[in-house]
Chain A
């Protein structure tokens, strides 16, 4: 058993899972926005990055780690809500290219502003968990307290979001506004407010992903989330953009696949692996692996 844990296969499993939960969180955040407003938020990664940088600045003033996480999430939520109000709301009912273009523009602005304030070098937040790997009989197991924390935190957030949607009144209202806005409005749900809350929730979940990335040994730099966003999008699309479970499973799948390609071939080919998974998945089931079949005209 102990030799199994230290095998290179298990190294890759652990590495892939650690990376995969980050993708899962981003994918989940994309699904929340997609469900509520049918917008694919191309600035999702950049918004999370920006919020985390604000938290990072606070830690420089002697604030503790958990406060920093909290600040990042709150800033992320405010940013998400404001984005929906200011940039997205005027575009409801417009062609689907309009919100895409606007969010791409927002992505460019956020990254340029972040680079001009905080420079392009990577920054880290020291998490209160050791990054030193465990050992078993003198050999490394590619798990550290930090990696376990990372996975537990991600799963905790996912369960929290699931519980919010399933068991609370707010969750019911959110689902109702996504499914049938008109009916929801007639039944007294403030649909517009729900859309804003959906964006806030999503941005908060995204911020957690960036915080985890910043807490790791490589840190976070302003364009770091570009690649994470692409992987997160692939994960969400493999799951069908509609299904939170699909997004989470997709994230883990992409994380593991990229880790194995990286280990057995080359890190430069890993992004292509994600694209190929997406292509294959879409060819088998264009509507996503985890969604119920919905026909589209033509």
Chain B
């Protein structure tokens, strides 16, 4: 497999800004027509997109394999949760900033021993971190709420937004759509940041470190600093994604961040396309509607969704998709689209 993004026509920041703005506005319009359930699902998907952006940057761009991003998500979610639980009046943007910074710091702590490691060692080390972080939340009950978690309700739909809605379920519709819109706007903003980072000096340095560390060092790139930066950025994105996740659900609990979440993140990233921006969005969309996908497969195969098999169908489908993608289309959906596009262009 050749790594993605080795060459690409240079886009300007303006083009990227316009693309992201256009896509975000389009999604906002779409949320207006979606039922409230789909809006909530989309909000979760937007939070996951942010996490996958960071993971894609870390694995695809800097070549460091992490299975611990659910741990960074948990750190961000708890930072936001503990803050929001005690300071209900604090502006939301501050909560998100705090979660991003705390997430980044946790990334720094993990990065210091990890950047000396390679491949499987690093994957195992980050997995061990993710496995250790949720029990820790269960331990310090007075701060984290222990097993039951923390509850907070900081996400209030502003009055002007409610005016757009009328009818029987006006407030439910308005709340769901406000949540989705907020999440989509944040995801769009983070997408723009990451798009710039991908094409920045650091992004190019990162790719060189990934492909040839000797050459990178000869070019005067500080290897361990570059690798650490990759971790900090990925963890900050995961922290923000995790906090958004917590704010959307108005709760944070240890069981929200199991090890399987790390596997889910990896699956979504690989399905979308490692190291691609569009892949992260594709992964987020798949996450949003994975429940629909699973129930569709259940009804297609005639499996009772309340049976044991039906309840575990998601794990089976995701696992099989992960294996098949890696074996037969390692560049994911984004890679497939790119191949189809270049096929069409080479014909014309």
Q: How far is the CA of A223 from the CA of B131 in the complex (A)?
A: 12
Chain A residue nearest in CB terms to B223:
A298
Q: In the assembled complex, which residues on chain A have CB atoms less than 8 Å from the CB atom of B113? A: 279, 282-283
Q: Is B59 touching A115 in the complex (CB atoms < 8 A)?
A: no
Q: How far is the CA of A270 from the CA of B313 in the complex (A)?
A: 32
Closest chain-A Cβ to B161's Cβ sits at a distance in Å of: 39
Residues 266 to 298 of chain A near chain B (Cβ within 8 Å): 266-272, 274-275, 278-279, 282-283, 286, 296-298
Q: In the assembled complex, which residues on chain B have CB atoms less than 8 Å from the CB atom of A113? A: 312, 316
Q: In the assembled complex, which residues on chain A have CB atoms less than 8 Å from the CB atom of B312? A: 112-113, 115-116
- Contact A109/B120 with A97-B59, A104-B67, A269-B135 known, Cβ cut-off 8 Å: no
Answer whether residue B311 sits at the interface, using C-beta atoms and an 8 A cutoff. yes
Answer whether residue A184 sits at the interface, using C-beta atoms and an 8 A cutoff. no
Name the segment of B10-18, B32-40, B46-54, B322-330 touching the other chain.
B322-330
Answer whether residue A23 sits at the interface, using C-beta atoms and an 8 A cutoff. no
Q: How far is the CA of A10 from the CA of B118 in the complex (A)?
A: 38
Answer whether residue A188 sits at the interface, using C-beta atoms and an 8 A cutoff. no
Chain A residue nearest in CB terms to B120:
A40
Q: In the assembled complex, which residues on chain A have CB atoms less than 8 Å from the CB atom of B326? A: 91, 98, 101-102, 105
Q: Is B1 touching A286 in the complex (CB atoms < 8 A)?
A: no
Q: How far is the CA of A233 from the CA of B259 in the complex (A)?
A: 15
Q: In the assembled complex, which residues on chain A have CB atoms less than 8 Å from the CB atom of B291? A: none
Chain B residue nearest in CB terms to A40:
B120
Q: In the assembled complex, which residues on chain A have CB atoms less than 8 Å from the CB atom of B120? A: 34, 39-40, 96, 100, 241
Q: Is A104 touching B308 in the complex (CB atoms < 8 A)?
A: no
Q: How far is the CA of A230 from the CA of B68 in the complex (A)?
A: 12
Q: How far is the CA of A98 from the CA of B118 in the complex (A)?
A: 14
Answer whether residue B320 sits at the interface, using C-beta atoms and an 8 A cutoff. yes
Q: How far is the CA of A210 from the CA of B131 in the complex (A)?
A: 19
Q: How far is the CA of A108 from the CA of B323 in the complex (A)?
A: 10
Name the segment of B19-27, B122-130, B168-176 touching the other chain.
B122-130
Closest chain-A Cβ to B209's Cβ sits at a distance in Å of: 10
Closest chain-A Cβ to B277's Cβ sits at a distance in Å of: 19
Q: Is A102 touching B327 in the complex (CB atoms < 8 A)?
A: yes
Q: How far is the CA of A40 from the CA of B67 in the complex (A)?
A: 13
Residues 214 to 264 of chain A near chain B (Cβ within 8 Å): 223, 226-227, 230, 233-234, 237, 241
Interface string of A87-99 (1 = CB under 8 A from B): 1001100111110
Residues of A in contact (CB 8 Å), total 54
Q: How far is the CA of A107 from the CA of B132 in the complex (A)?
A: 19
Answer whether residue B187 sits at the interface, using C-beta atoms and an 8 A cutoff. no
- Contact A298/B213 with A105-B326, A108-B318, A115-B312 known, Cβ cut-off 8 Å: yes
Residues of B in contact (CB 8 Å), total 53
Answer whether residue A136 sits at the interface, using C-beta atoms and an 8 A cutoff. no
Q: How far is the CA of A97 from the CA of B269 in the complex (A)?
A: 13
Q: How far is the CA of A100 from the CA of B118 in the complex (A)?
A: 13
Chain A interface secondary structure, helix, strand, loop or mixed? Answer: helix
Chain A residue nearest in CB terms to B328:
A90
Q: In the assembled complex, which residues on chain A have CB atoms less than 8 Å from the CB atom of B266? A: 101, 104
Q: Is A226 touching B267 in the complex (CB atoms < 8 A)?
A: no
Q: Is A109 touching B136 in the complex (CB atoms < 8 A)?
A: no
Q: Is A116 touching B267 in the complex (CB atoms < 8 A)?
A: no
Answer whether residue A84 sits at the interface, using C-beta atoms and an 8 A cutoff. no
Partner of A237 from the list B116, B124, B313 (CB cut-off 8 Å) is: B124
Q: In the assembled complex, which residues on chain A have CB atoms less than 8 Å from the CB atom of B135? A: 267-272
Q: Is A105 touching B319 in the complex (CB atoms < 8 A)?
A: yes
Partner of A268 from the list B59, B139, B270 (CB cut-off 8 Å) is: B139
Q: Is A112 touching B323 in the complex (CB atoms < 8 A)?
A: no
Q: Is B315 touching A111 in the complex (CB atoms < 8 A)?
A: yes
Answer whether residue A53 sits at the interface, using C-beta atoms and an 8 A cutoff. no
Q: How far is the CA of A139 from the CA of B1 in the complex (A)?
A: 63
Residues 39 to 96 of chain A near chain B (Cβ within 8 Å): 39-40, 42, 87, 90-91, 94-96
Q: In the assembled complex, which residues on chain B have CB atoms less than 8 Å from the CB atom of A87? A: 323, 327
Answer whether residue A119 sits at the interface, using C-beta atoms and an 8 A cutoff. yes
Answer whether residue B154 sits at the interface, using C-beta atoms and an 8 A cutoff. no
Q: Is B319 touching A271 in the complex (CB atoms < 8 A)?
A: no
Q: Which of B59, B260, B307, B321 counts the most A-chain CB atoms under 10 A from its CB?
A: B260
Q: In the assembled complex, which residues on chain B have CB atoms less than 8 Å from the CB atom of A241? A: 120-121
Answer whether residue B5 sits at the interface, using C-beta atoms and an 8 A cutoff. no
Partner of B119 from the list A100, A112, A274 (CB cut-off 8 Å) is: A100
Partner of A105 from the list B132, B308, B311, B322 (CB cut-off 8 Å) is: B322
Answer whether residue A199 sits at the interface, using C-beta atoms and an 8 A cutoff. no
Chain B residue nearest in CB terms to A234:
B128
Q: How far is the CA of A230 from the CA of B262 in the complex (A)?
A: 14
Q: In the assembled complex, which residues on chain B have CB atoms less than 8 Å from the CB atom of A186? A: none
Q: Which of A101, A109, A110, A119 counts the most B-chain CB atoms under 10 A from its CB?
A: A101
Chain B residue nearest in CB terms to A266:
B139
Answer whether residue A117 sits at the interface, using C-beta atoms and an 8 A cutoff. yes
Q: How far is the CA of A39 from the CA of B119 in the complex (A)?
A: 10
Answer whether residue A146 sits at the interface, using C-beta atoms and an 8 A cutoff. no
Answer whether residue A106 sits at the interface, using C-beta atoms and an 8 A cutoff. yes
Q: In the assembled complex, which residues on chain B have CB atoms less than 8 Å from the CB atom of A116? A: 307-309, 311-313, 316
Q: Is A226 touching B259 in the complex (CB atoms < 8 A)?
A: yes
Q: Is A95 touching B260 in the complex (CB atoms < 8 A)?
A: no
Closest chain-A Cβ to B72's Cβ sits at a distance in Å of: 14
Q: In the assembled complex, which residues on chain A have CB atoms less than 8 Å from the CB atom of B117? A: 282, 286
A-B contact pairs, 6 of them (CB 8 A): A98-B330, A105-B263, A106-B319, A117-B308, A227-B131, A269-B135
Give me the 4 closest cross-chain CB pairs, A-B, nearest first: A112-B315, A105-B322, A108-B319, A109-B319
